[in-house]
Amino acid sequence: MHKVPRRILIGLGILLLLIGLIGLVAWELVSSALEAKYLAKTAQKMTWQIRSGPSDRIRYPGQGPYDVRLGYSKLPDYLARLDRAGWQIDQQARISIQMARADDLGLFLPYHEKDQAGLTLLDSDGKQLYQGQHPTRVYRRFEEIPKVLVDALLHIENRELLTEQFPTRNPAVEWDRLAQALLEKGISLVDTDRNVPGGSTLPTQIEKYRHSPEGLTGSMSEKLRQMATASLRAYLDGANTMPMRRKTVMAYLNTVPLAAAPRFGEVNGVGDGLWAWYGLDFAEINRILASKPASRDTAYASALKHVLSLIVAERRPSYYLAANRKALDALTDDHLDLLASANLISRELANRAKAVKLRSTRLRIDPPAPRFADQKATNAQRIRVAALLGEPRLYDLDRLDLAVDTTINQPAQKIVSGYLQSLAKAEAAAASGLIGFRLLKPEDPLGQVIYSFTLYEKAPSGNVLRIQADNLNQPFDINSQARLDLGSTAKLRTLVTYLEIIARLHADYRALDAKVLVQKAQPQRDVLAQWVATRLLTNRSETLAATLDAAMGRPYSASPETFFTGGGLHNFANFDARDNGRVMDVWEATKNSVNLVYIRIMRDIVRHYASASPGAAARILDDASNPMRATYLMRFVDKEGRVFIHRFYQRHQGRTAAQMAEDLYARVRANPRRFTSVFRYLEPNASFDAYVAALHQQVPASASLSRKTLESLYKTHAPDAYNLADRGYVTQIHPLELWVVQTLRAAPKTDLKALDEQGAEARREVYNWLFK
């Protein structure tokens, strides 16, 4: 028996070792058994917890499309804005040390990501008030996805992803596909025209379009970053990656970027893609594809082609879906042939599908938008949140992964909104007492009357908004965006100011000694201060509530009177002439909205503030001999007069002479006297016949006037008959607007600076009554 040489034994041993090592490597490449143990153990340490107060261990993502869209990248800015606005962090996430290290290594943070997110508003009961989920149409479970769609996707993008032979396999890498891609890349360095196939698996692609800058792979290091994160994310639920692989297929179909469609915006996922690009119902397409294709089943063939077109369009979505449908149609047909060659679909089905032409986006019929009138509280809250976060567009706000608690009482909001909208019908308006004398008439266009309502509830935390509604079916919100100057709201503001003054005087005067209080109670221009001082002299312990109640009982005259205003003398009238000559308290005047009482309250308020300053503005104005009086008044006249001139210049700038005149005539057409006064001021050289022709054209009711009456009007309102202030009173148009229009008609190129300089005399003339 021959002894085997030692060197041969050693060689055989090394050969067997190499074969074993190669076998082990080969086994590891296809099964990832060793890799799974390490990565699963590492991934289990990638955790986070929600704890009270600001986080001492938190990381914010970069500028990946997913992170930007959902608002994660902007969190530092959002938090800074909210902090400046007085908000505080109640709870925040703390990531584990191992997750922080992954971020330090440059990886994307590995956690279970959402396929669907968006703004959610909750009402005061925690129920959904608004939800902006994006994408809208998604698969909730892997089992919902038609098998033919899964087969097609994997054959095109990632054939080995759902192979069940190796449950621990790392789905982020297909080594044979990666090797082929690297080989082709090397050949392309020599053959520059060679087409290089991609080597990315679905998990790696998801990392790319979600987290890489602009959703692109800009370098080899970025590719490695994607693969490493995808590998770690695959093992978050343990060494068995099959459940995660199925989730990956679902996530890809739910979120693959498909450009932006007209009247829709950014499209993500085949569900939204079917609707946005083709106007096809996601649920119906799934129902068709889940069934067994029958012979000559055109519906199945059409459904398959449209879904497949979205999968292949992912490579260049803007080009294929928005710019060149013909190229997309051809590319989809090529892939139908590939699926048939792989026996994933029948040749007959492929041919039927190829005969189908992709639908045009124009065929999409969007559902009617929700009525704006039904969304007023919701939209007001969205606008407020957008302002807090510094988001200029509600489109972007709706895509943030954000939940907001509001104070809106949703049931009450719906009731009030419905009630306001019902007032467009005569029956509802009559039942609400809105039809009657000096109110609405049944034949009036009731649908054009705008109603609004806001309700706050007093709570321990402050006044909270419960209802914000109006019946205007437009985006404009009457409650929060309108600036209304109405008599009733002006009275309410006046009443609040009046009571605030009384409350402040009550607090200040209770601290005064009796001697000073006696002085305050002496007759003076500030009747409010005198009244409070007199009451406190009688009862120093009177409560604020008692004083305010008594202030509401103060009597005022409701008689008409002439008041000086910035436009000259002005006569105020009551809505109900029966109030003229009466004396009533503030309670009754508020209940019946009596004008003259509130005009007098406003005068008392003005006199209070004028007298309150130690600078003695009131004393200067009361003393006609004080040399400071004229200076003070001139400064006021110049300042306020310029404000009006600027306003009227902005209104009439750029108009022709005829347009400016027409604007004024339109405001006086109902009154021949007022029209005549405006016409004679603007056309001082017009003949009597020209005046009569213009009057009959602009004021049809003047046709019944006699020649004698017309001649009287013509002479009475001659250019030199009134000063500027009186002409403004007669026409009921601000005298400085008359002057601005006259000046611009004579010299259209006059700019604002020149108007200011030329208007000094006009301003003095208009406010001349102040100096008397």
Calculate ∠ Cα 482-484-487, nearest 5°: 160
Cβ atoms < 10 Å from Cβ of 290: 13
Instruction: Quick: pLDDT tens for 683-696.
Output: 999 999 999 999 99
Residue found under tokens 């060793």: 34
Alpha-carbon span 694 to 705, nearest angstrom:
14
Residues 6 or more apart whose CB falls under 8 angstroms from that of 556 comprise 583, 584, 585, 586, 589, 596, 597, 600, 601
- Looking at residue 173, what is its pLDDT? 83
pLDDT band for position 11 (cuts 50, 70, 90): low
- Looking at residue 511, what is its pLDDT? 87
Alpha-carbon span 349 to 356, nearest angstrom:
11
- Looking at residue 700, what is its pLDDT? 87
Residue 220 has pLDDT above 90, yes or no: no
Q: Mean pLDDT over all residues of the chain?
A: 88
Tell me if residue 671 falls in helix, strand or coil: coil
As a whole number, mean pLDDT of residues 523-529 equals: 88
Phi and psi at residue 130, in whole multiples of 5°? -160, 145
Alpha helices, DSSP H, located in 279-343: 282-290, 298-313, 317, 325-341
- Looking at residue 528, what is its pLDDT? 95
Q: What's 66-92 look like in SS3?
A: HHHHCCCCCHHHHHHHHHHCCCCCCEE
- Looking at residue 449, what is its pLDDT? 95
Alpha-carbon span 216 to 210, nearest angstrom:
9
As a whole number, mean pLDDT of residues 693-721 equals: 90
Cβ atoms < 10 Å from Cβ of 526: 21
Alpha-carbon span 173 to 181, nearest angstrom:
12
Question: What tokens were used for 188?
Answer: 């392309």
Residues 6 or more apart whose CB falls under 8 angstroms from that of 347 comprise 340
Alpha helices, DSSP H, located in 423-526: 426-431, 478-481, 487-510, 514-520
Cβ atoms < 10 Å from Cβ of 426: 16
How many helices (H) and strands (E) the chain has is answered by 37, 13
Cβ atoms < 10 Å from Cβ of 68: 17
* 551, containing H or E segment: helix 544-552
pTM greater than 0.85: no
Report whether 119 contacts 404 (CB < 8 A).
Answer: yes
Sign of the C-alpha dihedral computed for residues 134, 138, 140 and 142 taken in this order = negative
Alpha-carbon span 511 to 514, nearest angstrom:
10
Report whether 260 contacts 267 (CB < 8 A).
Answer: yes
Alpha-carbon span 739 to 766, nearest angstrom:
10
Tell me if residue 122 falls in helix, strand or coil: strand
Report whether 254 contacts 66 (CB < 8 A).
Answer: no
As a whole number, mean pLDDT of residues 415-439 equals: 93
For 685, how many CA atoms within 13 A lie in the half-sphere containing its CB? 0
Tell me if residue 242 falls in helix, strand or coil: helix
Question: What tokens were used for 201?
Answer: 């698996």
Q: In b/e form, how buried is each residue of 229-258, taking b as 16+ CB within 10 angstroms?
A: bbbbbbbbbebebbebbbbbbbbbbbbbbb
Greater model confidence, 461 or 616:
461
Report whether 218 contacts 190 (CB < 8 A).
Answer: no
As a whole number, mean pLDDT of residues 367-390 equals: 94
Cβ atoms < 10 Å from Cβ of 16: 10
Calculate ∠ Cα 221-223-227, nearest 5°: 115
Sign of the C-alpha dihedral computed for residues 185, 189, 194 and 195 taken in this order = positive
pLDDT band for position 180 (cuts 50, 70, 90): low
Phi and psi at residue 372, in whole multiples of 5°? -60, -35
DSSP 319: I
* 734, containing H or E segment: none
Question: What tokens were used for 183?
Answer: 């080989």
Residues 6 or more apart whose CB falls under 8 angstroms from that of 217 comprise 200, 208, 223, 226
As a whole number, mean pLDDT of residues 240-264 equals: 96
Report whether 707 contacts 695 (CB < 8 A).
Answer: no
Tell me if residue 94 falls in helix, strand or coil: strand
Residue 32 has pLDDT above 70, yes or no: no
Task: Report the greatest alpha carbon distance in the chain.
Answer: 155
As a whole number, mean pLDDT of residues 418-433 equals: 95
Look at residues 397, 392, 325, 141 and name the one whose alpha carbon lies nearest to residue 246: 141
Cβ atoms < 10 Å from Cβ of 438: 6
The residues that bridge with 458 in the sheet, in sequence order, are 463
The residues that bridge with 120 in the sheet, in sequence order, are 131, 403
- Looking at residue 117, what is its pLDDT? 96
- Looking at residue 461, what is its pLDDT? 87
Residue 217 has pLDDT above 60, yes or no: yes
- Looking at residue 606, what is its pLDDT? 87
Report whether 450 contacts 473 (CB < 8 A).
Answer: no
pLDDT band for position 60 (cuts 50, 70, 90): very high
Which of 228-242, 357-371, 617-631, 661-675 is least confident? 617-631
Report whether 341 contacts 313 (CB < 8 A).
Answer: no
As a whole number, mean pLDDT of residues 575-584 equals: 87
Residue 628 has pLDDT above 80, yes or no: no
Cβ atoms < 10 Å from Cβ of 265: 13
- Looking at residue 616, what is its pLDDT? 55
Calculate ∠ Cα 205-207-213, nearest 5°: 105
pLDDT band for position 1 (cuts 50, 70, 90): low
* 130, containing H or E segment: strand 128-131
Which of 531-545, 630-644, 661-675 is least confident? 630-644
Does residue 560 have a cis peptide bond before it, meaning omega lies within 30 degrees of 0?
no
Alpha helices, DSSP H, located in 127-219: 147-157, 175-188, 202-211
Look at residues 232, 255, 256 and name the one whose alpha carbon lies nearest to residue 244: 232
pLDDT band for position 200 (cuts 50, 70, 90): confident
Q: In b/e form, how buried is each residue of 587-600, taking b as 16+ CB within 10 angstroms?
A: ebbbeebbbbbbbb
Greater model confidence, 558 or 563:
558
Look at residues 403, 360, 314, 376 and name the one whose alpha carbon lies nearest to residue 122: 403
Tell me if residue 38 falls in helix, strand or coil: helix
The residues that bridge with 94 in the sheet, in sequence order, are 49
Alpha-carbon span 156 to 335, nearest angstrom:
8
Calculate ∠ Cα 92-98-101, nearest 5°: 95
Percent of the chain scoring above 70 in pLDDT? 89
- Looking at residue 262, what is its pLDDT? 93
Q: Is 277 left (phi over 0), alpha (psi -120 to 50) or beta?
A: alpha
As a whole number, mean pLDDT of residues 324-345 equals: 96
Does residue 135 have a cis peptide bond before it, meaning omega lies within 30 degrees of 0?
yes
pLDDT band for position 193 (cuts 50, 70, 90): low
Which of 4-18, 275-289, 667-681 is least confident? 4-18
